[in-house]
Chain A
Amino acid sequence: MSWRNNLAEDIADPIVAGALKHFKASVDAWSEAVYSPPRTVLETTRRTWRLAASWALGCLLAAGSLGGTLYDRHVRRESARIAAIKAAEQKAALEHKAAVQPVTATIVARRQPTAMKHAASENEDLLATVDSDVSRQVPAAMEPLAQMMVSDGAN
């Protein structure tokens, strides 16, 4: 028997045909019962969430980097300002010092002879006071000795 006759016979055979029909119906029923359709909604939701999360993360990173840059710039500017102020203060101090020094020297130089004179007169006065305080009328018995001292001083 050739395969052609065999096929024709099987289709003609009501038992085989019925069994194949039931078999197909059974497979269809089973497949329908356990078939789960593609979850496109879930996928869309996931995609939406992923998109939202990536946007949020992107914004956060952008804000962070921008904030960091601005903060860094601010800190640098502030440091530069403080450094400039310090430098200006130092410069001003140096300039002030340089301006003040010659004047002081002049004043000191001008004041020096006067002070010396003043000091000398003070010494003279002091000595005069000492002389007046210390000097006493010598007794009569010491008169010859006193005469000798005067004459020594005169010589």
Chain B
Amino acid sequence: MGLGVVNLRRMVTSIKSMAAGTAVKPMTADAADEIAAREFAIIVESHRRQIFRFLLASLRDVDLAETLTQECFLKAHRNWKHFRGDSSAMTWLMRIAINLQKDHWRNRRLQFWRHTQSNAVDVDEASDWLPNGERNAEQQILAKEQVAQVWKAVEGLSARQRTVFLLRYVEERELNEIARATGLSEGTVKAHLSRALGRVRAELRGKR
């Protein structure tokens, strides 16, 4: 889907350039806008769920995740004409979502004197969610315990480590994509990931 969108964008860009040269049929601005709007609708449909999931895992707050997802796509829509397709649309959206999340935490830190009530669910509640696989009751309890331990480890991570960890193990992104989305080098991403995994491993081993 991402490649398709990028190809479509390139096609639109080439058509626009051709139209500028008036070599072929000139494309009106309205037609170009309509194509861009269709493109963006495809982007929303295909990536909204993933962005929401990432924000939910990062914040553990359904309402806040929903709000930031909306903001993310609103921001993306405003800047859609500036997106050149150098990275995948998903990476671009992730970058916006990460920045929004950063802004949110920064604002909360600045507003520490205010009574800011967090709707974030606790680790135990978050670990209640498990799909009903073919596991027996004992395996389900064990899986739930493990999930709770991972959540605890994630809770103790720094914001950057948590972002990298979630992008890798929940969103299953490649290291280079994570690097682009976070604006870090691949080496730094690997280092953060290593520390995060060390923490998870320690949490799991501690409970064995």
Residues from 1 to 49 in A contacting B, C-beta threshold 8 Å: 3-4, 6-7, 10, 13, 15-16, 18-20, 22-31, 33-38
**Would A23 and B170 be within 8 Å (CB), given that A10-B201, A29-B131 are in contact?**
yes
Asked if residues B151 and A16 are in contact (CB atoms below 8 Å), the reply is no
A38-B66 Cα distance, complex, nearest whole Å: 10
Contacts of A25 in B (CB 8 A): 130-131, 133
Q: Are B198 and A6 in contact (CB under 8 A)?
A: yes
Q: Are B149 and A30 in contact (CB under 8 A)?
A: no
A11 — nearest CB in chain B belongs to which residue? B197
Size range of the interface on A? 20 to 34
B14 in the interface (beta carbon within 8 A): no
Given contact pairs A4-B190, A19-B150, A22-B143, a sample of 6 additional A-B residue pairs in the complex whose CB atoms are under 8 Å apart: A6-B197, A7-B193, A10-B200, A25-B133, A29-B131, A30-B126
User: Within the assembled complex, what's the spacing in Å between the Cα atoms of A24 and B126?
Assistant: 12
Question: What residues of chain A lie closer than 8 Å to B172, measured between beta carbons?
Answer: 24
Which chain B residue has the least Cβ–Cβ distance from A7? B194
- Chain A residues within an 8 Å CB radius of B53: 27-28, 31, 35
Q: Are A16 and B197 within 8 A (Cβ)? A: yes
| Chain A residues with CB under 8 A of B197 | 6-7, 10, 16
B113 an interface residue at 8 Å Cβ cutoff?
Answer: no
Closest Cβ of chain A to B77, distance in Å, is 12
Whether A23 and B52, one on each chain, are in contact in the complex, defined by CB atoms closer than 8 angstroms, is no
Q: Is B48 an interface residue (CB 8 A)?
A: yes
Interface set of A (CB-CB < 8 Å, partner B): 3-4, 6-7, 10, 13, 15-16, 18-20, 22-31, 33-38
Contact check: which of A20, A22, A35, A38 meets B130 at CB < 8 Å?
Answer: A22
Contacts of A3 in B (CB 8 A): 190-191, 193-194
CA distance in complex: A34, B62 (Å): 7
State whether A23 touches B169 (Cβ < 8 A): yes
Give CA–CA (A36, B204) in the complex, Å: 33
Q: Which residue of B lies closest to A36 (CB)?
A: B66
Chain B nearest Cβ from A17, distance in angstroms: 10
A23 to B204, CA, bound (A): 12
Q: Is the CB of A20 within 8 A of B44?
A: no
Tell me the residues in window 121-150 of chain B with beta carbons closer than 8 Å to chain A beta carbons: 126-127, 129-131, 133, 143, 146-147, 149-150
A38 touches B170 (CB 8 A): no
Asked whether B146 lies within 8 Å of A38 as measured between CB atoms, the reply is no
> Could you tell me the distance in whole angstroms from the C-beta of A143 to the nearest C-beta in chain B?
141
Q: Is the CB of B190 within 8 A of A23?
A: no
Residues A31 and B56 in contact in the complex (CB < 8 Å), given A3-B190, A23-B169, A24-B170: yes
When the two chains form their complex, are residues B129 and A26 in contact, meaning their CB atoms are under 8 A apart? yes
Inter-chain CA distance A6–B66, complex, in Å, is 35
